[in-house]
Structure 1
């Protein structure tokens, strides 16, 4: 296997807030181009450092391959070089992910984000082979995406460090919620250009204090300014300010529980709440989610509205 050493590849995603974009949909389930472009402007104007499309928050598992590529191309065009764009290439097996990687490269992505293979249990030896094969498929910067709640496989910190130091991966998006494992990665990786991003909305300040370079928060769609302030406070070493901002964002994050668990799963509730928040803020036209997710009803949308008003993002009574 031939790879370009990580020490020779400048990080495309260096640090800062990189929201995993929601994918706005029309009422009939197609990508809403106008809303997607408006969302890009909303986030870039807030000061984010990059955009991550077709991730978990972007409903990647629900989108067709056509919709994935269309979403990426639209975001790349709307971003117009103002910030780098990373593309999620999530799928079940290496060859499928490699195909997504090549399509994303051709679609204008600046970087790629891939999980371990999933559906069947995956051994660390298979994960190692997977990321090495992806490195061979394209030379775009590649971030490993650790989200065991979806893949049912935790990326071992030692394996992450091994892949980082040999140049097979260029960064990590850690959505595991395992702070000790995050610390272990930060301590173990020796490649100086390797970048680590926390995917946590609620303990982002802790990840940054441990040495993470940035944040990839789903809630950053709804309140990008808050996470940009948190990141700036952390970089200035003003941890009291960072903790205050994090406390406000933790309270806002309660909106993901707006959906009634008796009639929908937590993913439907969270994505529906993010999209309703974006609709209330005028960033997208519709809060449509992919089928078979259950949409929020009137009372649940009102709960989202109350969270946004309490966080100072909208006026009380906004419809």
Structure 2
């Protein structure tokens, strides 16, 4: 499916199910895709942070995109992360995901090396120049240690370099500046502004965001679809109730003991444990060197699911 416009609505960053020996479980991956499609999502984003892209080998990354694109078979657009340290490596990954059939690529600022804003701008321009599909910027300073300034995002969007923004910065003020800047420029009407937050979706959509990319959407895609539709319809009371239910469900990311694991292990482990408990994937394993949840922690994930009406 070629995207006529950048994606809007609910675009979950698809988890990558793994086998106990940490290979991609393609059978579970296709069941997860069916679960998301049945939930009513508008597009799929593979090879993002929730997909554990940083932990996957190039071979595994290619297998993920090939599997999802083939299984979706044009029902929905598929965005794929081309996430790597520098421009040449990103271009290599972009070519690979486009060859696999991705409809757009999602790209962060360069990382590991320290980059100036002018170099970040050059990075996106070079990627867009040599990429055959639309480029969506991924603002995630926690991971790449550079914040994409709102002014730069709008400049690149105005120049046709960027088709959209996935904002996982947590900087609501900067996010709003992008939304307001888009609104002020008629030429940016087709530029998609997406929040990566699970817990402030109603606020972001009220600001004027075009959609949401929620990791928790793997667990409850239908809930985020209901939330998006309520906001779109202007039913803010229904939206707030759905958002608050999802906030409660998102509490599962805190079940991991911070004394023995990092936040990524806890959150991704919780999402996968929830998918396993819901019968969507066969194994809740996360990629090495992440620490797995204990049986007691997994039981607490189950309680969050039950409270949210998902078990």
TM-score normalized by the length of structure 2: 0.97
Aligned to 1:178: 171
Please state whether the residue corresponding to 1:56 is helix, strand or coil. coil
Q: 1:51 aligns with which of 17, 37, 44?
A: 44
Aligned to 2:229: 232
Once residues 200 and 121 of structure 1 are traced to their aligned partners in structure 2, the CA distance between those partners, rounded to angstroms, is: 26
Please state whether the residue corresponding to 2:137 is helix, strand or coil. strand
Q: 1:99 aligns with which of 92, 97, 101?
A: 92
1:265 matched to 2:262? The reply is yes
Q: Tell me if the contact between 1:214 and 1:231 (Cα under 8 Å) persists in the aligned partners.
A: yes
Q: Tell me if the contact between 2:66 and 2:101 (Cα under 8 Å) persists in the aligned partners.
A: yes
Once residues 118 and 226 of structure 1 are traced to their aligned partners in structure 2, the CA distance between those partners, rounded to angstroms, is: 34
Q: Which runs of 4+ in 1 moved over 4 A?
A: none
Aligned to 2:292: 295
Deviation at 1:12, TM superposition (A): 4.0
1:128 matched to 2:128? The reply is no
Aligned to 1:68: 61
Q: 2:104 aligns with which of 84, 101, 111?
A: 111
Q: Tell me if the contact between 2:6 and 2:164 (Cα under 8 Å) persists in the aligned partners.
A: no
Measured on the aligned residues, the alpha-carbon RMSD in Å equals 0.9
Once residues 141 and 49 of structure 1 are traced to their aligned partners in structure 2, the CA distance between those partners, rounded to angstroms, is: 17
1:282 matched to 2:279? The reply is yes
Q: What do residues 248-281 of structure 1 show as CA deviations (whole Å, max 9, x unaligned)?
A: 0011101001111111001000000000000011
Please state whether the residue corresponding to 1:52 is helix, strand or coil. strand
Aligned to 1:5: none
Q: What do residues 64-117 of structure 1 show as CA deviations (whole Å, max 9, x unaligned)?
A: 001001000100011111111000111110000011011111010011100000
Deviation at 1:54, TM superposition (A): 0.5
Aligned to 2:253: 256
Once residues 187 and 307 of structure 1 are traced to their aligned partners in structure 2, the CA distance between those partners, rounded to angstroms, is: 36
